[in-house]
Amino acid sequence: MAIEIINDPTIAAGESLSDAVDCSAGKIVRLTMPADWLNAPLTFQISSDGLFYNDVFDNKGIELKSVVVAGTAVIVPADYLAAANFIKFRSGTRDLPVTQPAERAFAIALEVLGATPFSIPIKLVP
């Protein structure tokens, strides 16, 4: 088992939703927050195929959101985003998105079974 880092996704200046990232190579275990993150919860959209995205809600109809702190590492609980082959990050919630005034870049740590510590395939989705 190895940890692979994907230096993405990015929320563009003036936007609240990031570009998409292919995380199908492993399980998301940690997110690294931008140092200049404007105070807002972090929510997600996920996709099985990288084409069609859905907002992430739990089985009680509550949007999955993380209260985050700028410039920190966020440990992702087991199975929190287990179904995320492709993911987008949102500043704010579906109903109350928060526009970020400047570009915000994240990093995603994936736990990859069967990979050596030196294999780092990075897949970006346009």
Per-residue pLDDT 10s for the chain (126 aa) are: 799 999 989 999 999 999 999 999 999 999 999 999 999 999 999 999 999 999 999 999 999 999 999 999 999 988 888 888 999 999 999 999 999 999 999 999 999 976 555 555 555 555
Tell me the pTM: 0.86
Domain coordinates in residue numbering, the chain: 2-112
**CA dist 27 → 12, 91, 95 (Å):** 25, 22, 27
Task: Say which residues have a Cβ less than 8 Å from residue 124's Cβ, sequence separation at least 6.
Answer: 6, 8, 21, 22
CATH of domain 2-112: 2.60.120.260
Q: How far apart are CA 50 and CA 88, in angstroms?
A: 10
Phi and psi torsions of 78, nearest 5°: -55, 135
